[in-house]
Amino acid sequence: MEKLEINKAQIALRFAQAGQSYTQHAVVQQQIAQQLFQFIQQYLPEKKVNRAFEIGCGSGNLSHQLMERLSINTLILNDLYPEIQQHFLRHNNQSHQRFPDLQWLMGDVEQLEFPQSLDLIASSSALQWINDLEVVFEKALQRLNPQGYLCFSTFGQQNLQEIKALTGQGLDYLSIEDLQEKLLNNGFEILHISEQLESLNFTHPKQVLQHLKATGVTATASNFRWTKQTLADFYQNYQQFLTHDMSGETLYRLTYHPIYCIARRKP
């Protein structure tokens, strides 16, 4: 199958449109950010970080934990579109001395120069939008201090598998083995890597589509158009993913496949 070329402008537009609804509906992404932060706390021996860089900060699911629960002097936040800064007004309005100095680096990380002398590069639920992950890993290695950390979550090949099965639309996700190989080839040692399957359940397939739209995930469907017929077919075919709760209520499953990684630049 031909690899899907990811349209960054389309991604920025869809996530900007979902900006107000994302925080409310992106429950899985919030859980993933919390889990990733627990791994960061577990594997970073020194909780003091001079300079940190977050790729694809979005509404700040991970950022706020980094700011409030790690001792960071400077945190540089990246995303595709400047509207995300609205999610950080609370930080800007607080001059508490333990909060880091917040800086912004807007744009596509595949094209940008990374900040210098980093102790930590972090990213939650964003690297799946990268066309060439090795480019990002190479830049990360160049900009991290010796024994600096690259900590991220991304998604594996079973992510949103129901949508891909029914529409043919979706990203070409890397396997956990692919990620390991790319990290090792680019000079990282892997301290932790794991994967999980998480399911959300909905009472109707229409809610599945509403959830995806509210979280900006429809950015993959740049050439896909819903018609009355394709929508009816989608609802009908989603029956194959039916499940039932303890009370026997019919539910429609949507699968997420997070992968967590804590890597370190070799000395």
* pLDDT at res. 222: 56
DSSP assignment of the chain: -PPPPP-HHHHHHHHHHTHHHHHHH-HHHHHHHHHHHHHHHHH-S--EEEEEEESS-TT-TTHHHHHHHSEEEEEEE--SSGGGGGGGHHHHT---TTSPEEEE--S-TTTSPPPSSEEEEEEES-GGG-S-HHHHHHHHHHHEEEEEEEEEEEE-TTTTHHHHHHHS----PPPHHHHHHHHHHTTEEEEEEEE--EEEEESSHHHHHHHHHHTTGGGG-TT----HHHHHHHHHHGGGGEEE-TT--EEEEEEE-EEEEEEEE--
Domain residues of the chain, as ranges? 8-157+172-199+255-265
Put simply, whether the predicted model's pTM sits higher than 0.85 gets the answer yes
pLDDT at 98: 66
pLDDT of residue 1: 34
Taking only the tens of pLDDT, the chain with its 267 residues reads: 334 445 555 545 544 444 444 455 568 889 999 999 999 999 997 778 999 999 999 989 999 999 999 999 999 999 998 888 888 876 655 555 567 899 999 999 999 999 999 999 999 999 999 999 999 999 999 999 999 999 999 999 999 999 999 988 888 999 999 999 999 999 999 999 999 999 989 999 999 988 888 776 654 555 677 889 989 999 999 999 999 888 888 999 999 999 999 999 988
* Contact status, residue 192 vs residue 39, Cβ threshold 8 Å: yes
Residue 25 is predicted with a pLDDT of: 54
Four-way CATH pick for 8-157+172-199+255-265: 1.10.443.10, 3.30.2320.30, 3.40.50.150, 3.50.50.60: 3.40.50.150
CA–CA dist 52, 58 (Å, integer): 16
Task: Give the pLDDT score at 160.
Answer: 93
pLDDT of res. 248: 87
